[in-house]
Amino acid sequence: MKLRAALVTAVLIAPLAITGTAAHADPNNNSVRKLVKAVNGKNVKRHLKVLDLIAKANGNTRVDGTRGYELSRDYVAGLLRLAGYKVSTQKFTFENLEFKTKPVFERRSPSPQVFALGLDWTPSGHTAEGTFSGKVQAVDVMIPPGPAPNSSTSGCEAADFAGFTPGNFALIQRGTCGFSVKVANAKAAGASGVVLFNEGQEGRTEADVNPDLGGPSDLPVLFASYWTGRDLAATPGAEVGFTFSWETVTKSYTTYNVLAETRHGRDDNVVMVGGHLDSVEDGPGINDNGSGVGAILEVALQMAKSRPENKVRFAFWGGEEFGLLGAEHYVANLTEQERANIALYLNFDMVASPNYVYHVYDGDDSDGVGAGPGPEGSAQIEKYFEEFYASRGLASKGTDFDGRSDYGPFIAVGIPAGGLFTGAEKRKTPEEVAKWGGTAGERYDRCYHQACDDIRNINDTALDVNADAIATLVGTYAFDPSKINGPHSPGVGVRAKLVDEAPSSQS
């Protein structure tokens, strides 16, 4: 009851409590320098605290289709309306195929831990159904891993199981032989279940493999990340539990995008700025993506009274965690002319990870990793972000347009895109620690898609710096048409190549 009262109070007084925002925005925040000065991490953090309260009062989630999401929508839309923006909500529905009973893999003792589905482990497509438990016993594992892939011979021969206790779960490392061979040998040795885990070399650490067992197994079989396997191997005799059912159910969801645009500026040179508003079901989503939402919202509030040369449209997407559905719905429903009027799209998804790296989307594909370059103009967006960090004496690093966030639908129709990302489930390298500090071998965000992604899961330094970066790029494109159309733009309202010229922070 007290928590709900605190929530109501927070939502009602937020427009007044967040000093310098909304109705208090300075009409003179009409340049990059002034806008950046007005945006500060403390005000951004206040938005995150409200989203955290909303989640805590509603089952610790802000997933689509819940009261937590609806209150998040109303909070963002309410502040933007108060600030004078033209605000609309875009309703859409979707269906999602889900497990009727959520799969669970956990260590019960010592140090109880529920492993994160999709991050720490995934069920094999051939696993047996049911509820299982047993002690974990490592089988000829190689930790640390060998220097090259397929160095480990774990579980490849019956002799590897010498001394194995029947009834235990066999912990087997990926390596030279096929998964079906490893599982068959484990079954012959009397294993009650099998935990296969990735080998550990670069590119072979995550729980992203569906082991081919050659057909259905009468043993429970799951695939774990190298890190999960390493941790289990370090605790011989650990008691684990595994619950899995193939039974699924199709659920229907109704959710919303929130759109807010300036009342001034060229509507044929629209600067779009977005981030997803929803969380996963398992957590409050304060870094993912309350951090992006809070930073975008604060930038919008601080420039609310200015008169930008180019119209700015802020978007807070629903359905991202189900597959970028909100952004896809929006782009799919644009007319050809409406698409042509969008000059570029800036995306901000997870900008305050606790073990952060300053990632900039690789618009020109200069890293040569994964997908190719973004549409023409994306390279210039990347360059502007790089120059922002360099101006602060900070390093930045490219990250691939891998299709995991809401820029995807915009890129697909040829709209230039860019943005920032401080990292999710991957682990920080020693080389990255030397540039940004933090802890090597730990995830960028240890609470990614988990219940602990709350207000304590925010790095205040990254949040403050990236809020300034967002203000810099939004201001650059909002206040200066030449950054989109060139210094001698005829003003014909068609998307032109974005200008390869450094943004000024002194204008």
Question: Residue 45: pLDDT above 70?
Answer: yes
Overall pTM surpassing 0.85 (yes/no): yes
**Strand (E) or helix (H) holding 272:** strand 266-276
pLDDT in tens, 239-274: 999 999 989 999 999 999 999 999 999 999 999 999
The pLDDT, as a whole number, for residue 494 is 33
Long-range pairs for 199-203 at CB < 8 Å and ≥24 separation?
199/142, 199/145, 199/149, 199/150, 199/151, 199/152, 199/173, 199/174, 199/175, 199/226, 200/143, 200/144, 200/145, 200/173, 200/226, 200/230, 201/145, 201/146, 201/147, 201/148, 201/149, 201/151, 203/149
CB atoms within 10 A of CB 337: 9
The pLDDT, as a whole number, for residue 313 is 99
Q: How far out from the chain centre does Cα 257 lie?
A: 17
Per the CB < 8 A criterion, the answer to whether 456 and 416 are in contact is no
- For residue 281, name the pLDDT band (cuts at 50, 70, 90): very high
Least reliable range by pLDDT among 19-23, 106-110, 202-206, 359-363: 19-23
> How far is 461 from 149, CA to CA, in rounded Å?
38
Report the chain's mean pLDDT, rounded to a whole number. 91
Question: Residue 88: pLDDT above 60?
Answer: yes
Question: Residue 441: pLDDT above 50?
Answer: yes
Question: Residue 506: pLDDT above 60?
Answer: no
pLDDT in tens, 375-433: 999 999 999 999 999 999 999 999 999 999 999 999 999 999 999 999 999 999 999 99
The pLDDT, as a whole number, for residue 199 is 98
The helix-helix angle for 292-302 and 41-56 (nearest 10°) equals 130
Provide the sign of the torsion angle of the four alpha carbons 17, 19, 22, 24, taken in this order.
positive
The pLDDT, as a whole number, for residue 24 is 57
**Strand (E) or helix (H) holding 397:** strand 397-399
Which domains, from first to last, does the chain contain? Answer: 2-96+251-485 (3.40.630.10), 104-244 (3.50.30.30)
| Six-digit token string for 505 | 């922070």
Question: Residue 10: pLDDT above 70?
Answer: no
The helix/strand/coil state of 289 is helix
The pLDDT, as a whole number, for residue 495 is 47
Question: Residue 503: pLDDT above 90?
Answer: no
The pLDDT, as a whole number, for residue 370 is 85
Active-site choice (320, 321, 328, 432)? 320
**Residue 320 a catalytic site member:** yes
pLDDT in tens, 313-368: 999 999 999 999 999 999 999 999 999 999 999 999 999 999 999 999 999 999 99
Tell the burial category of 110 from Cβ atoms under 10 Å away from its Cβ (0-12, 13-18, 19+).
exposed
> How far is 197 from 204, CA to CA, in rounded Å?
10
> Which DSSP string corresponds to 82-125?
HTT-EEEEEEEEEEEEEESS--EEEEEESS-EEPPBTTTEEE-T
> How far is 192 from 172, CA to CA, in rounded Å?
13
The helix/strand/coil state of 156 is coil
What's the whole-number mean pLDDT along residues 168-190? Answer: 97
Q: List C-alpha distances in Å: 75 to 46, 61, 78.
A: 12, 15, 5
> Which DSSP string corresponds to 163-206?
T--TTSEEEEE--SS-HHHHHHHHHHTT-SEEEEE---STT--S
DSSP 159: G
- For residue 210, name the pLDDT band (cuts at 50, 70, 90): confident
The pLDDT, as a whole number, for residue 497 is 53
Give the closest residue to 91 by CA, choosing from 261, 250, 259: 259
| Six-digit token string for 459 | 């790095």
> How far is 467 from 280, CA to CA, in rounded Å?
23
CB atoms within 10 A of CB 496: 17
> How far is 126 from 215, CA to CA, in rounded Å?
6
Q: List C-alpha distances in Å: 362 to 300, 367, 399, 401, 407.
A: 25, 7, 5, 7, 12
The pLDDT, as a whole number, for residue 209 is 85
Cis peptide before 416 (omega within 30 of 0): no
> How far is 397 from 81, CA to CA, in rounded Å?
36
